[in-house]
Amino acid sequence: MNITEIKDFNAPEIDFFARTTENQLRTYYGDRPGLFITESAYVTVRALEAGFEPVSMLVETGCMETEAVPVIEALEKIWGKEKKDSIPVYIADRELVTNLTGHKLVRGLWMVLRRKEELSTEEFCKDKNRIAVLFDVVNPANVGAIIRSAAALGMDGVLLTHPSVDPYTRRASRVSMGTVFQIPWTKAGFEESQGISLLDKLRSYGFKTVAMALTSDSTSVDNDEIRANDKLAVILGTEGTGLPDDVIKASDYRVMIPMQHGVDSLNVAAASAISFWELMK
């Protein structure tokens, strides 16, 4: 292994981990796919198994014989011994790592990986029958949880509007338990994400749109008529404000989850899991 011990907070070798924002990583190569960081061995191995190319790794000194082991094994299995031995591995004690990252490393390990090209909306929608559409969902924990539910409950993919948070942010990928690397997803373009443009495009691809919204004409999500459609796009809004009115009105269906005890709604991540389960039946 190409191991370097880091003792100086300002060491340039750890700029990606200490002094580069996630947005800067995402746009690191300009118009080409950039970089992202994974946290923990479990999530990192999922990314490697999905074919993402490793760039460098930061490990707490005490985790080289524990947390780093499955990652090193995956590196050699997937990328070969020569590649594994060439990747810079930076080790540092816990205090320095905590100072440079602002918090303790999740399970003591981070890895920088290269992104892949994202599909266009049209390419993404090909051969898919059930997709989740995240409309301006900006909370990374919610995005990660929704993608995890979509993967677990059999959805074919997740389409995000342009303002939605990047699923490869550290928190989103961690909350998803690495499923952001196991289920297809892509982001719609800026223009596609304006108003009801994305709904019109989805209809042109043969999808019926299902808005999760509490309106006077909302039907229960366990609806056989809706389930009978060959292609469904389940549209979920951001926490708090939900979906815009024009999106709700333009959707083919409006559905809600029946509530009790005076509760009017669920967190969007919890609601997504119930919706996926019902609409996949």
Rounded distance between C-alpha atoms, residue 124 and residue 241, angstroms: 27
Rounded distance between C-alpha atoms, residue 36 and residue 174, angstroms: 12
Q: What's the residue count for the chain?
A: 281
Tokens of 7: 């003792």
Rounded distance between C-alpha atoms, residue 7 and residue 4, angstroms: 10
List of long-range contacts for 170-173, beta carbons under 8 Å, 24+ apart: 170/22, 170/37, 170/38, 170/39, 170/110, 171/140, 171/141, 171/144, 172/140, 172/141, 172/143, 172/144, 172/147, 173/36, 173/38, 173/39, 173/43, 173/47, 173/144
**Exposed/middle/buried for 141, CB within 10 Å: 0-12, 13-18, 19+?**
middle
Tokens of 105: 């490393």
Rounded distance between C-alpha atoms, residue 236 and residue 131, angstroms: 11
SS3 category, 235 = strand
Q: Cα torsion at 13, 62, 37, 25 (round to 10°)?
A: -20
Q: Which domains does the chain have, with CATH numbers?
A: 2-114 (3.30.1330.30), 121-279 (3.40.1280.10)
Taking residue 246's Cβ as centre, other Cβ atoms within 10 Å add up to: 11
SS3 category, 19 = coil
Bridge-partner residues for 110, per DSSP?
39, 58
pLDDT value, residue 104: 53
State how far the alpha carbon of 216 is from the alpha carbons of 68, 80, 82, 279, in Å.
Answer: 53, 59, 62, 21
DSSP character for 106?
G
β-strands 253-256, 2-5: how paired? unpaired
Cβ–Cβ < 8 Å for 40, 106: yes
Q: What's at 265, amino acid-wise? A: S
pLDDT value, residue 108: 85
Q: What is the pLDDT along the chain (281 residues), one digit of tens a residue?
A: 899 998 887 888 888 988 899 999 999 998 899 999 999 999 999 999 999 999 999 999 989 999 999 999 999 999 999 999 999 999 988 877 776 655 554 568 999 999 999 999 999 999 999 999 999 999 999 999 999 999 999 999 999 999 999 999 999 999 999 999 999 999 999 999 999 999 999 999 999 999 999 888 899 999 999 999 999 999 999 877 889 999 999 999 999 988 888 887 788 999 999 999 998 87
